[in-house]
């Protein structure tokens, strides 16, 4: 009986250890960021197929290579970001459980994962179109080198600079099908680019003291909450004209996108009336997540009907 219990306990410990390793791995590649960006990449693929008159099922090989390639490029870039941030993550409360901080994943392992995934992803994209691979290289370089290694640590405009890399997934998806990127493809890029500053500024407000402790010159840290709220309002307002350049998606989508923009702008204006800045920042952050999900899913739906 005791031997059976010992074996059972050993199995439970092994299972727990495997689960912990898997969770740590997902943390290293930032699976949440991977998933959200893959959705936008898929939207780029879907719309390119729709507007070039190609079938989804007849292009499953390209779809698979693009989705998998994009996922690996993003995951590899995120792992390299974790490797680069090893020195500052221990200073931030929200990041002290990262495997690179706790020591559950060694820096060498994280670096190896990053390089391997990035290389594999770019190779897969290269089997679609040269343009898709080139955009993937730009996105990875912008995030890993320009943002993570330089802008994040030196410039107040780090979030804006980092937005370039975050805006490329839909372009990669579109370029894998149609290298001649249309106006609508660039509108997807602009939506993603403009969406990111108010989204991440809201998060930065919530974690302002953490960034201050780590010496990261985020806008709320350097300029204060008032300047951050003003900047967020301007970025959200910049989204208002974009639906007019996306009329190929139809009037229902135009109305939905415009209402989402007006709703977000209204919430941004509310920031000047609410006394609790952090509560307002949380509302802005949650709205931004729903905004992006609804907008990109709607693009797929309106072109499927």
**Does the pLDDT value for residue 16 go beyond 70?**
no
**pLDDT value, residue 15:** 52
- At 65-96, the pLDDT tens digits run 999 999 999 999 999 999 999 999 999 998 98
Please give the tally of structural domains in the chain. 1
**pLDDT value, residue 20:** 87
- At 133-153, the pLDDT tens digits run 999 999 999 999 999 999 999
**21 within some domain:** no
**12 within some domain:** no
pTM score, two decimals? 0.92
The CA distance from 256 to 184, in Å, is 17
Q: How far is CA 94 from CA 158, 179, 209, 212, 218, in A?
A: 19, 40, 11, 13, 16
The CA distance from 130 to 136, in Å, is 10
Segment among 6-10, 191-195, 208-212 with least mean pLDDT: 6-10
**pLDDT value, residue 305:** 85
CATH number of the domain that 74 lies in? 1.10.357.140
The CA distance from 187 to 112, in Å, is 35
- At 176-194, the pLDDT tens digits run 999 999 999 999 999 999 9
**3 within some domain:** no
**102 within some domain:** yes
- At 226-259, the pLDDT tens digits run 999 999 999 999 999 999 999 999 999 999 999 9
Nearest partner of 184 among 195, 196, 170, judged by Cα? 170
**16 within some domain:** no
Q: What is the mean pLDDT of the chain?
A: 94
**283 within some domain:** yes
**201 within some domain:** yes
**18 within some domain:** no
153 is written with which tokens?
A: 């640590």
Look at the alpha carbons of 289, 39, 168, 299 in this order and tell me if their dihedral is positive or negative. Answer: negative
């Amino acid at each position: 009986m005791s031997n059976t219990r010992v074996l059972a306990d050993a199995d439970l410990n092994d299972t727990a250890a495997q689960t912990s390793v898997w969770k740590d791995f997902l943390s290293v590649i930032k699976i949440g960021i991977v998933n959200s960006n893959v959705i936008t990449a898929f939207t780029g693929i879907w719309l390119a197929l729709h507007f070039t008159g190609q079938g989804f099922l007849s292009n499953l090989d390209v779809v698979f290579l693009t989705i998998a390639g994009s996922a690996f490029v993003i995951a590899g870039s995120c792992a390299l970001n974790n490797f680069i941030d090893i020195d500052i993550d221990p200073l931030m409360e929200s990041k002290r459980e990262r495997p690179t901080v706790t020591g559950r994943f060694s820096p060498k392992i994280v670096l190896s994962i990053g390089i391997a995934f990035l290389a594999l992803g770019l190779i897969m994209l290269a089997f679609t179109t040269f343009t898709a691979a080139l955009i993937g290289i730009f996105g990875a370089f912008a995030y890993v080198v320009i943002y993570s290694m330089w802008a994040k640590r030196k410039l107040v405009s780090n979030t804006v600079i980092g937005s370039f890399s975050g805006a490329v997934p839909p372009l990669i998806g579109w370029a894998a099908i149609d290298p001649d990127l249309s106006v609508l493809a660039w509108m997807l890029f602009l939506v993603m680019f403009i969406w990111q500053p108010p989204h991440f500024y809201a998060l930065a407000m919530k974690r302002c003291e953490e960034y201050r402790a780590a010496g990261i010159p985020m806008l709320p840290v350097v300029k204060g909450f008032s300047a951050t709220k003003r900047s967020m309002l301007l970025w959200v307002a910049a989204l208002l004209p974009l639906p007019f350049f996306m009329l190929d998606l139809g009037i229902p989508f135009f109305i939905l996108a415009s209402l989402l923009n007006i709703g977000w702008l209204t919430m941004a204006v509310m920031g000047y009336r609410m006394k609790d800045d952090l509560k307002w920042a949380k509302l802005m952050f949650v709205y931004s997540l729903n905004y992006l999900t609804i907008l990109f899913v709607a693009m797929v739906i309106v072109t499927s009907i």
